Amino acid sequence: MSPNTASTPIISSNTTPTTSTKPTRKIHDVVIRLAGNSQDGIQAVGGFLARLAGRSEQEVMTYMTIPSTISGGPSIFQVRIGSGEVFSAGDQVDFLVAFYQHSYENHIHSLKPGGILLYDSDHVTPNLNDKTYHYVGVPITSLTVEAIGGTARDKGKNIFTLGLLAKVFDLDTAKLEKLILDRFKSKDESIARNALNAFNAGYAYPIANYLDQLYTFEKYEKAALRPQVTMDGNQAIAYGLITGGVRFGAGYPITPWSSIMEILRAELPKYGGIFVQAEDELGAVSMALGFSFAGYLAVTGSSGPGISLKMEALGWGCMAEMPLVVINVQRGGPSTGLPTNVEQSDLMQAIYGSHGDAPRVVLAPQTVEDCFYTAIEACRIAREYSVPVIVLSDTALATRIEAFEEPHLEELYVPVQLDLSPHEGNYKPYALDRITRHLTPGRYTADGKYPVVSGLEHDEYGHPTASPKLHSAMTAKRRDKLRQLAATLPTPAIYGDETAEILLVGWGSTYGPIREAVDTLRRQGHPVAAIHLRHLHPLPPRLAEIFTRFKQVLVIEMNDYGLYGYGQLATLLRATTVCPHIKSHCKTDGQSFRVSEIIQAVQALAK
């Protein structure tokens, strides 16, 4: 916790409570990690804390790990709440909640020296001789059973713990109770009642007697006039797609894409649309292409191996120049790899996957808020350039909860109406002298001809051809429209010291850790700057000009160095800008970048 954390233990687990009156320390931000098993509901508690922060005009960022097994297994949920800008979920933890012995043993070293370990004394026996931390033992399991009845066993201990945290950090209990009721309103009344009983029992527990002080957040006056919304990256993408004009889609379940599919399945019918769960990935992308062919912008999506299965049909979309949005929520490794861990190793697949020269657009959101706006931009580009657009999100963004200013939906919302108006003149669907615009089948054209769409190489009317001259011309046409798009893209802004010698380059979910690393390094007197790329294919203009202004360019990304020593984006940037001083800092441990890892990489480069 900043700015102050006690340096001596508050109290050991066997200390007798003495008083409930404690001083309160104001804090700027706190990192809380809940460690337990996946069925304990720790994600729900973390979600409550994050949503409370969002409704209290505070910044929040979360991080979670879940096992890839169907049920059970160790899991954590980490939430960082701050009265100011929060760019990462935090490298080290101020307050660790351990439900089991393995939770304590696996995560105690993530706790800052002087940090607080709150443990379930029914299951955890810590080493109290280690004076590095403060220990607060509470029989969470047995007190939960006592609060809500013996038949409930330890179900509800997550909510009991939420009550404890509400007391320690002086949280708004009225808002938390409403969040709890909203969460269980669709279930039996007894479930909500038990949850409130558990919460109130936790809040009433005299935990203050085991701490030398309680905490409250500094007041933070945000400049924004609009209320905040709180959601994860997958939710932001789904609602961005609907706002951007998507009404149809098809997909097949796979972690971590599935929740986007579930949201679209539930929400699209409210807007006159439909989402179909297909029999497999190839069926899903083909159905989506069919929806787009019919005149409605459609979406499909998947993760890792599911995207690979879509590549053949995606090639058809590139050749037929069909508007389509494809969401790839990246996960770790090839094949089924690390299904619940993060990685950024699908970049080359997104750009060059499929067969032949099949140009498509690739975008990468950098925050949860940006997931919403990137989805809208993907819809616009797909329509304007009649091209498949891939949105490269990742597991970290998909599961992370952030609060951001409510979007101006009345300005962003794209109404959907099937265009069947007559088309004037001699219409060529694939005219060589302009960007293709897909026409709805059945639209009347003045020359009496109907547009033809084909995955075969074709002439300007869409008729199949094997003409070498036409194939070269059409290949160039499909490539050049991406060049025209590139000319409209903004050059990335430089963050930090523009006169520095070192420039960091990132993409996707590394945005927050890179930005926090730049801030930290600059406070320490190390000049450094950063840019973050949102448009990955085509790349934005003037990158080479930016790179030549710095002596060192270090690309931060979560994929392998590869045979030639460079990550996927670094390889692309070296090829396109011919800048020899571009270097890579990569990782493939399935975890998001820590701020300290980036700082160490920069310090090593500066030596």
Supply the pLDDT for residue 1.
54
Q: What are phi and psi of 433, to 5 degrees?
A: -100, 15
Nearest to residue 549, comparing CAs of 595, 596, 502, 587?
A: 502
Half-sphere exposure (CA, 13 Å, Cβ side) for 105? Answer: 7
**168: its two tokens:** 């320690």
For 83-110, what is the mean pLDDT? 92
- Name residues whose C-beta falls within 8 Å of residue 136's C-beta, 6 or more positions apart in sequence: 10, 11, 13, 116, 117, 118, 119, 207, 210, 211
Q: How many CB atoms lie within 10 A of CB 4?
A: 13
Q: In b/e form, how buried is each residue of 473-489, taking b as 16+ CB within 10 angstroms?
A: ebbebbeebbeebeeee
pLDDT tens, position by position, 463-482: 999 999 999 999 999 999 99
Measured CA to CA in angstroms, residue 416 lies from 248, 267, 323 at distances of 11, 15, 14
Supply the pLDDT for residue 11.
30
Q: In b/e form, how buried is each residue of 329-364, taking b as 16+ CB within 10 angstroms?
A: bbbbbeeebbbbbbbbbbbebbbebbeeebbbbbbb
Nearest to residue 46, comparing CAs of 161, 201, 138?
A: 161
Rounded distance between C-alpha atoms, residue 48 and residue 162, angstroms: 8
| 577, 579, 582, 588: CA torsion to nearest 10 | 40
Supply the pLDDT for residue 151.
59
Reported pTM: 0.91
Q: Is the pLDDT of residue 12 over 50?
A: no
Angle at 410 between CA 406 and CA 414, to 5 degrees: 110
Instruction: Name which residue leads in pLDDT, 104 or 153.
Output: 104
Supply the pLDDT for residue 3.
38
For 28-38, what is the mean pLDDT? 92
For 415-432, what is the mean pLDDT? 86
For 30-38, what is the mean pLDDT? 92
Rounded distance between C-alpha atoms, residue 555 and residue 380, angstroms: 29
Supply the pLDDT for residue 84.
78
For 176-193, what is the mean pLDDT? 87
596 three-class SS: helix
Instruction: Name which residue leads in pLDDT, 423 or 97.
Output: 97
Q: Is the pLDDT of residue 7 over 60?
A: no
Q: Is the pLDDT of residue 493 over 90?
A: yes
Q: Is the pLDDT of residue 394 over 60?
A: yes
Supply the pLDDT for residue 149.
78
303 three-class SS: coil
pLDDT tens, position by position, 245-290: 999 999 999 999 999 999 999 999 999 999 999 999 999 999 999 9
Strand order, beta sheet including 93-98: 134-138, 111-120, 93-98, 29-37, 74-82, 59-65, 401-405, 228-232
Nearest to residue 130, comparing CAs of 9, 16, 33?
A: 9
Q: Is the pLDDT of residue 217 over 80?
A: yes
Q: Is the pLDDT of residue 19 over 50?
A: no
Share of the chain above pLDDT 70, in %: 94
Supply the pLDDT for residue 9.
31
Instruction: Name which residue leads in pLDDT, 591 or 84.
Output: 591
Tell me the DSSP string of 170-215.
T--HHHHHHHHHHHHTTS-HHHHHHHHHHHHHHHHS-GGGGSS-EE
pLDDT tens, position by position, 578-589: 999 999 999 999
CB 247 within 8 A of CB 297: yes
Rg (CA), the chain: 27
- Where does the pLDDT of residue 72 fall: very low under 50, low under 70, confident under 90, or very high at 90 and above? low
- Where does the pLDDT of residue 5 fall: very low under 50, low under 70, confident under 90, or very high at 90 and above? very low
Residue-averaged pLDDT of the chain: 91
For 441-468, what is the mean pLDDT? 88
pLDDT tens, position by position, 340-380: 899 999 999 999 998 999 999 999 999 999 999 999 999 99
**201: its two tokens:** 């029992």
Q: How far apart are the first and last CA of the chain?
A: 31
